[in-house]
Chains A and B, each alone.
Chain A
Amino acid sequence: MIEPLVKTIEVPCDQAEAFEVFVDQMGTWWPLARFSASVKFGMSPQGLRVQPRVGGTIVETSTDGTEHLWGTILEYDPHDYVRMDLHIGLPPQTASRVEVRFVALEAERTRVVLTQSEWERFGRFAEMMLQGYPRGWVVIFEQAYRMACGGRAPEDRAGEG
Chain B
Amino acid sequence: MAYAQVLTALADPTRRHIFEALRDRPMTVGELARGQPVSRPAVSQHLRVLESAKLVSVEPRGNRRLYRIERTGLDELRGYLDRFWSDVLSAYGAEIARRKKTGKRGASGR
CB of A119 closer than 8 Å to a CB of B: yes
CB of B10 closer than 8 Å to a CB of A: yes
A33, closest chain B residue (CB)? B91
CB of A144 closer than 8 Å to a CB of B: yes
Contact between chains at B98 and A148 (CB < 8 Å): yes
CB of A18 closer than 8 Å to a CB of B: yes
> A-B contact count, CB below 8 Å?
133
Contact between chains at B81 and A126 (CB < 8 Å): yes
CB of B99 closer than 8 Å to a CB of A: yes
A137, closest chain B residue (CB)? B87
A29 touches which of B20, B94, B110 (Cβ 8 Å): B94
B90 touches which of A122, A126, A127, A153 (Cβ 8 Å): A153
CB distance from A128 to the nearest CB of B (A): 9
Interface flags, A120-134, vs B, CB<8A=1, else 0? 111110110110000
A24 touches which of B80, B97, B101, B107 (Cβ 8 Å): B107
Q: How many residues of B contact A (CB 8 A)?
A: 43
A120, closest chain B residue (CB)? B74
Contact between chains at B93 and A7 (CB < 8 Å): no
- Identify the B interface with A (CB < 8 A): 4, 7-12, 16, 19-20, 23, 69, 74, 77-78, 80-101, 105-110
Helix, strand, loop or mixed for chain B's interface?
helix
- Select the stretch in A8-16, A56-64, A67-75 that faces chain B: A8-16
Contact between chains at B92 and A34 (CB < 8 Å): no
Q: Which residues in window 1-48 of A have CB below 8 A to B?
A: 1-2, 5, 7, 9, 11-13, 16-18, 20-22, 24-25, 28-31, 34-35
Contact between chains at A9 and B107 (CB < 8 Å): no
CB within 8 Å for A5 and B81 given contacts A20-B106, A130-B4, A144-B94: yes
A28 touches which of B85, B95, B105 (Cβ 8 Å): B95
CB of A107 closer than 8 Å to a CB of B: no
Contact between chains at A34 and B87 (CB < 8 Å): yes
CB of A154 closer than 8 Å to a CB of B: yes
CB within 8 Å for A1 and B91 given contacts A17-B96, A25-B106: no
